[in-house]
Amino acid sequence: MNTASIDLYAVLGLSKDANLAAIRTAFRARMRQTHPDSRPPEDAEAAHEEMVLLNLAYETLRDPGKRAAYDLDRRAARNAKQEQHHEPTPPPTPQPRVIVLDPQVVDFGSVFTGETRDQVVTVRLSDNSTIRYAWALTDCGDFWQVVEPQPYRDVSAVRLRLRVRPLSAHDALGPRSDRLRIMVDDLVVVVPVRINVVAAPPPPPPAPPPKARAIVLNHRYINLGSLWVGAEGQDQVVEARFDDGSPIRIARVLNTTGSFWHVVSEPVVRDTTRLIIRIQGGPVAPDHAQGRFTERFQMRLDDVVETVGVTALITTPPAPRLTFANWQDFRLTCLGVIMLLSLLLLLGSILFSGVYALLNTGPRGHDPTWHLPTTYAVDLDAHCWPKRWH
């Protein structure tokens, strides 16, 4: 019998790369099926022919030498037949298209009541060919829904976003499952959808309110010292910042002048970390009362307001002091006073000399025994005086 024309592998139902164990197993199984005892009498002749082929196939394929010779003859007979008929090699059989899902199962995991969650499933074909038409046959389920369901045409892949619908406290707790059906061209695929509904956790305790920011000052009261009409005091500096060091969006001095002080720095500052305010004493009004006075000015850092006190002693202007600046005027003044005193002394000397000369030219002439009466002579008797004076 020409075995090259018979496909012994097909007789046993095997592939060409089957091993010896597979050949034995297939032979015994086919023998049990085709044995005449297990078939009706009218099929006895056909069963006998099948058993002859089974024995031939088994005897040929179990022997490596006979199997190699059979394969060689079989290949040569096929090539000869192709050359005789000039038949082209048949094209490879196209592989069937299969829908590929990523992921295979849409699992939302554990979801609290009142919570929502999204999952994306990607659909494409196994041969990466273009999908002419795709559509979600079921766009919603028991606990899920497709976000923006729409048909897809001429795409390489389809991305469907599934979202858990809001679950209420009345929904049953525990695992639940459903199915999403998608049509891709002429194929339909079913995607399992799973979820585990759990009770919502208790709400967290309310967060403590944020600590209110406070303004830190280097001086809460500034003393401008003594002031009077027309005087200007020295500058006093007040620095303000937040206790937490946070930046200041806008800082503003609300009142910039008082009855005896005024602000000399910029009253409005933006985007800074500290506010520097310079306070200068004066001007003092002429009709301002005297004594110690205290006033206040306010500043605003963002939405926080702070007050700073300003105190000063309003007095009369002090007497001018001798300084190097007015030393020349002082010298001229002293020289004028000395010259005036010298002139008065000179006039007094002249007057005294005249009176003295007048008194020394009396009735005695140049009598050395004569002298002026004294206060002691007023009470003496007249005889004590020379008689010629009576």
Q: What is the pLDDT of residues 42-98, one digit of tens each?
A: 777 777 788 888 888 888 888 888 888 888 888 887 777 666 655 556 666 666 777
Judge contact between 281 and 235, C-beta under 8 A: no
CB distance 157 to 122 below 8 Å: yes
* pLDDT score at 389: 45
The lowest-confidence range among 239-243, 317-321, 334-338 is 317-321
The whole-angstrom separation of Cα 74 and Cα 94 is 25
Nearest to 126 by CA among 93, 162, 157: 157
264's CB contacts (< 8 A; 6+ apart) are 235, 278, 279, 280
Give the contacts of 129 (CB within 8 A, at least 6 positions apart): 97
Alpha carbons 116 and 163: distance in angstroms, whole number: 7
CA-atom Rg of the chain in angstroms: 66
Tell me the pLDDT tens digit for each residue of 299-320: 998 889 999 999 988 888 876 6
**pLDDT above 70 (res 378):** no
- What pLDDT was estimated at residue 247? 92
d(CA 306, CA 213): 12
Return mean pLDDT, the chain: 80
283: cis peptide before it, omega within 30°? yes
Q: How far is it, in rounded angstroms, from Cα 266 to Cα 169?
A: 61
For 196, the token pair is: 């585990």
331 has pLDDT over 70: yes
Which of 29-38, 199-208, 293-302, 372-381 has the largest mean confidence?
293-302
